[in-house]
Amino acid sequence: MEFSEYIKTANVEDVVLRQPLHPPGRGTLCITGHHLLFSDREEGSCRQVLLLLRNIDAIEKSVENLLTCYGLFSNAGLSQRLSGSSGTITIKCKDLRVLQLDIPGMEECLNIARSIETLSCLDSMSELYPFFYRPSNASLRDQWGLSSLERHYSQMKELHDRWRLSTVNRDFSVCPSYPQAVIVPKSTDDDMLEKVAKFRQGGRFPVLCYYHKKNGMVIMRSSQPLTGANRKRCREDEQLLQAVIDGSDKGYIIDTRSSQQALQARMTGGGLESKSCYSSWKRLQRQMERGKALQESLIKLVEACGDDSNNMDRWLSKLENSKWLSHVQTALSTAGLLAECVERDGHSVLVHGSEGTDSTLLISTLAQLIMDPSCRTLEGFLTLLEREWVQAGHPFQQRCAHSAHSHARLQQESPVFLLLLDCVWQLWGQFPLALGFSEALLLRLATEAYASDYGTFLGNNQQERCALGVKENTHCLFQALLRPRERDCYSNPLYEHTELAIWPSVHPQSLQLWRGFFLRWTPQIHHLEEAQEEIRNMVIEWGKLALSSCPAST
Amino acid sequence: MEHIRLPKVDNVRLLDRISPRRNRVGTLYLTATHTIFVENEAGVRNETWVLHSLVCSLEKQAATASGSSLLIHCKNFQVLNFVIPRERECHDVHLSLQRLSQPERPDELYCFSYKPNIDAEERRPEWDFLDLRADYRRMGLPNSLWKLSSVNQHYKLSDTYPADLFVPESATPLVIVGSSKFRSRGRFPTLSYYSKENHAAICRSSQPLSGFSARCLEDEQMLEAILRSNPHSDFMYVVDTRPKLNAIANRAAGKGYENEDNYSNIKFQFIGIENIHVMRNSQQKMMEVCELRSPSMSDFLEGLESSGWLKHIKAVLDAGIFIAVAEEGVSVLVHCSDGWDRTAQVCSVACVLLDPHYRTLRGFMVLIEKDWISFGHKFSHRCNHLQGDPKEVSPVIDQFLECVWQLMEQFPCAFEFNARFLITIHSHIYSCQYGNFIGNNQRERTELGLREKTHSLWSYLWMNRADYINPLYRPDHSQTQGLLRPSTAPYCFKFWRALYNRFDRGMHPRQSVEDYLSAIQEETQQLKEQLASHKQKIAQLEQAQEWSVPQKAVPFDKSPTGWTFCNDLANTPQDYTGGFFTSSPCQPRAPITLQTEESNKTSKSILSNGSDQESGIADVSCRSPLSEDSTRDPDSDEATYSAS
């Protein structure tokens, strides 16, 4: 790849960098194809800041021409005059950090700004950094990913009676956003699946996503049925769903749209499962915000957090107005409802909205965390994310193209994954001992989804990743997070396994702003991090003593 | 008891605010000191105790077919809704409680009947536990700059001030008396805190009686003397904690604020903290929001905003920070109108920020004793201990406790005590179980003979301090050192769920990091001791050259002892459905998790009380609850803390 054409000025000396939590530093700025590198040249310090250009959401530049001062010296040459000018670039990152660079020289400043603008949103995926990242401690031949549906199926012996692994999608022709293998009822053959796929938006026919061992009930997910205005039916779709509840009296369909939205979808070819055709299924409409509205909510919240008017009324009204916490509440309570249907009420549930790639995944993931202790360990959680988000086809590339600071016109951006992480953080706050991972993991994932050294979140689905050769040419984030040093940092020292379901409280009083993420770059967070450090040390000390006091048993 | 019209009512329902599934049926008993609800369920003895002195308001609602409803709001934010089958009974219970919860004479207060059979001699160590003079000695007083003055012996100069007061060495009795005559209620400028490192002092007073133009030479001399007691500074701050408009309005009544022109080298500053009436209404509004049945996120946030509560908390904390920062070199005189509400808040918040000692368990108790109790915060009026003027009631001390809680949230390692400590203090300020918060000032307390006839909360808290220790506190942690510099950006303030929604157990985290860490800490300590003693034994053995007997350690169970994990977790699904399941044709089968909860209840309530129902009443009034455990329902999650 030739990036050099985008880089007019690669190095600038004497740049001042201002960033949160650090005193300003003076040093050299360097732009490469993927990074912004700043090295502090101040006496006695050798700080380096390496920023992935992909992490930059928006930049603002202002140049100050000091010609007026220099106008007095009429004999001063042009180059000298330009060097008397200077510029400031404000960099707003997708991880919500805001940096400022004071650059001597207007031309240099404009060149740097132009390079950042171009290189931070390269369109071609194969030019992205993960394809160039070659850490010394890992090899491209290392295992990629944690699990696969094939492995998942073979491990779940309980499934084998009634469920089978289908490879009808092996060449992604039936459903471009599904993985090659999916789990479906044993009684449905691949021909049926192909017909059902034609009846569901984007070919996302109902597949199994969770099997509740305690009572054999399942969670299925799909996209909306394409009934359209003339209320088309699809026998195979009806049969497939009948096969799911086989034997039990009924199942629930949780539709993440309001009834009105669902009815309106008929006009554009979508629709819902009618009572008459799916008589043993009871539909529950639970409206969840999606798409643009969610992105705007994030933008408003981040804007509120950056407001420094120091006015309490204004803060609370902006917080309310952003509706972010309302979305957290809705997501958790819909997931709670889903888990309640399965665990308490003992029925199988089909979840879908319209496309089945966003809110559907959000609530099915949360419900699994609530019910299934095996998803709550560090590995378990990452495996869950891999299965339910990466392999299940959440379009990361589109959803995470920009974050809250971008001025670009919104296209497909939507912080659904961030909303998931926020909800998981709420669970973590209410059950601080039940989850095996730390807040640091959630923060890391929130950053990596938007800009990463790793290939894990590249592309929108498995088909795109296969075409790009992601597995062969990039490193896997999930594997990296499980290396011993990372594991120490990302595991929860207080974790204790519990078999019980963890039902979150969804009262407004119980839900909180995720300060660790939204206020991550304020100095107050430091004291909370110290407390986490203290907790870790206490547990370590206790563990060491416990070990040393029973040498006989070890 | 002559006020109890009906000692017992059967078939009373206790309604659950959140979920009708959890309504309970039982018997209601009225005793001299408590209302007790005993659930009738076979094999279950589940009790809810409510102290009469904690009852804040009673509302009898119109009778319906199922009975008459009685709504009880408590000062510790518990809300109980009873439905009593017959209107007549409800009426009697209502009238009885109305009388019982509003004592007319001080001697009817609960503290005089709580554990009464102990003579004054035995009570003395309880009351001697805290000594304010020792705290002043800790500050380095008296010294060459400040002296202990006897001007207010027998409360002659100011009947709302304590007898012992520190004044500048150079202040003569004449100056003090003159200054006192120029201040509301005679509350002249006197020392509240002194920093021995930089000689700066925090002084407090009431407003000057300056009207539009009055001056008082002695008062000016008094401020001059305070200024001169700080040799390193050539000016001092005078901080009026009221909004400027309020202070100006006071001038018309012959009161007001200091004129910078009349006092030499003062910098005058207004800090707009609102008055007690605004604060009372604000808390009331917030509590209405907390009690909404199932509010949406927007309802809650809008309500919280319009209550203005967090704005007021921020104002108090901002004022405290202003003073604490100034105090790093410059002396400050703080006042409001009478100098017993906002002044107490601001001085004590500043002390917490400034001095790590006040962030310890004992130091915090001393601070409340000093800035609130001794300087005459009107607890009886503000907390409505006796039937009185509702306009005098105000949650001024609640705001102080909340400011400290907000600080604890920002600096989790800086405080030796935990939030439970603050909440326990809060409930006992209102419970009247201990003598500490009875009366409006020292003079009244001496007259009531509280030291001879009641118990002290401080020694109770100290004896039970294991419950109140913050496991993250380390005296040598960086957060523990020196001045705390909190942020007061609006987003740093949180809603204090653990206090205001304390009794809504479904809202709280189901597992406590703190309890877990405390258990670990205790065990770590034990292990260290074990290890040390083993090492010692090994050394002894080595000396005796008896190598043949190796030491064997006790097998170790790798879970903190006494920590009830499963109980904490056994929660039930919240109401995610909006009533869907209850109306659904297919009623849910008895759910697994719910059963776990029921069985917990059973086992715990069996533990909680051995006496039978009939003898319960007689038994109950003398079996006075030892702690506030009594006021909470025994199956609440908090109960598991005390069990562990």
Instruction: Give residue-wise pLDDT tens across range B485-501.
Output: 999 999 999 999 999 99
Choose the closest CB to A509 out of B413, B495, B570.
B495
Tell me what pLDDT residue A408 has.
80
Residue in chain B nearest A324 by alpha carbon:
B297
Q: Does B491 touch chain A (CB under 8 A)?
A: yes
Contacts of A503 in chain B (CB under 8 A): 571-574, 593
Residue in chain A nearest B479 by alpha carbon:
A527
Whether B588 sits inside 8 A of A344 (CB atoms) is yes
Residue B625: Cβ-neighbour burial (10 angstroms; 0-12, 13-18, 19+) = middle
Q: Given pLDDT bands bounded at 50, 70 and 90, which one contains residue B591?
A: very low
Whether A527 sits inside 8 A of B479 (CB atoms) is yes
Tell me what pLDDT residue A86 has.
85
Q: Does B272 touch chain A (CB under 8 A)?
A: no
Does ipTM exceed 0.85?
yes
Write the pLDDT tens digit of every residue in A79-133.
444 456 889 999 999 999 999 999 998 888 999 999 999 999 888 888 899 999 9
Q: How far is Cα B456 from Cα B434, in angstroms, rounded to an integer?
A: 5
B219 labelled as ligand-binding? Answer: no
Instruction: Give the mean model confidence (pLDDT) for residues A385-391.
Output: 96
Both structure tokens of B618: 């007689």
Instruction: Give the mean model confidence (pLDDT) for residues B468-479.
Output: 91
- Is the backbone peptide bond immediately before B142 cis, with ω within 30 degrees of 0? yes
Q: Given pLDDT bands bounded at 50, 70 and 90, which one contains residue B49?
A: very high
- pTM score of the predicted model: 0.90
Tell me what pLDDT residue B545 has.
67
CA distance to A539, B87, B417, B423, B490, per residue, from B471 (Å): 12, 51, 8, 17, 28
Does the pLDDT value for residue A14 go beyond 60?
yes
B92 labelled as ligand-binding? Answer: no
Q: Which residues pair with residue A540 across a beta bridge?
A: none
Q: What sign does the dihedral A337-A339-A345-A349 (CA atoms) show?
A: positive
Pick from B297, B288, B351: which is nearest to B319 by CA?
Answer: B351
Contacts of A434 in chain B (CB under 8 A): 511, 569
Q: Give A211 to chain B, closest Cα distance, Å.
A: 18
Higher pLDDT, A283 or A551: A283
Q: Does B469 touch chain A (CB under 8 A)?
A: no
Which of A234-248, B36-50, B539-553 is the least confident region? B539-553
Domains of chain A: residue spans and CATH: 3-122 (2.30.29.30), 149-513 (no CATH)
B340 labelled as ligand-binding? Answer: yes
CA distance to A299, A449, A516, B301, per residue, from A321 (Å): 11, 26, 21, 9
Q: Select from B415, B503, B575, B576 the residue whose CB has the most chain A CBs within 10 Å, as the one to mutate to test that interface.
A: B576
B170 labelled as ligand-binding? Answer: no
Write the pLDDT tens digit of every residue in A148-174.
999 999 999 999 999 999 999 999 999
CB B289 within 8 A of CB B295: yes
Q: Select from B406, B484, B520, B530 the residue whose CB has the most chain A CBs within 10 Å, as the one to mutate to test that interface.
A: B520
B339 labelled as ligand-binding? Answer: yes
Q: How far is Cα A523 from Cα A531, in angstroms, rounded to an integer?
A: 14
Whether B492 sits inside 8 A of A524 (CB atoms) is yes
Conformation bin of residue B441: beta by default, left when phi > 0, alpha when psi is -120 to 50: beta
Tell me what pLDDT residue B642 has.
28
Q: Give B169 to chain A, closest Cα distance, Å.
A: 41
* Catalytically annotated residue among B203, B336, B351, B383: B336
**Percentage of chain A surpassing pLDDT 90?**
75
Q: Select from A285, A310, A315, A498 the residue whose CB has the most chain B CBs within 10 Å, as the one to mutate to test that interface.
A: A315
B336 as an active site residue: the answer is: yes
Contacts of B297 in chain A (CB under 8 A): 320, 323, 325-326, 328-329, 508, 511
Pairing of strands B146-149, A11-18: unpaired
Q: Given pLDDT bands bounded at 50, 70 and 90, which one contains residue B166?
A: very high
**Percentage of chain A surpassing pLDDT 70?**
94
Residue in chain B nearest A518 by alpha carbon:
B491
Tell me what pLDDT residue B571 has.
62
Contacts of B581 in chain A (CB under 8 A): 340, 344-345
**A vs B: CB pairs below 8 A:** 219
Does the pLDDT value for residue A394 go beyond 80?
yes
Choose the closest CB to B491 out of A305, A502, A504.
A305
Q: How far is Cα B636 from Cα B510, in angstroms, rounded to an integer?
A: 11
Tell me what pLDDT residue B74 has.
95
Tell me what pLDDT residue B577 has.
63
Phi then psi for residue B162, to 5 deg, are: -75, 170
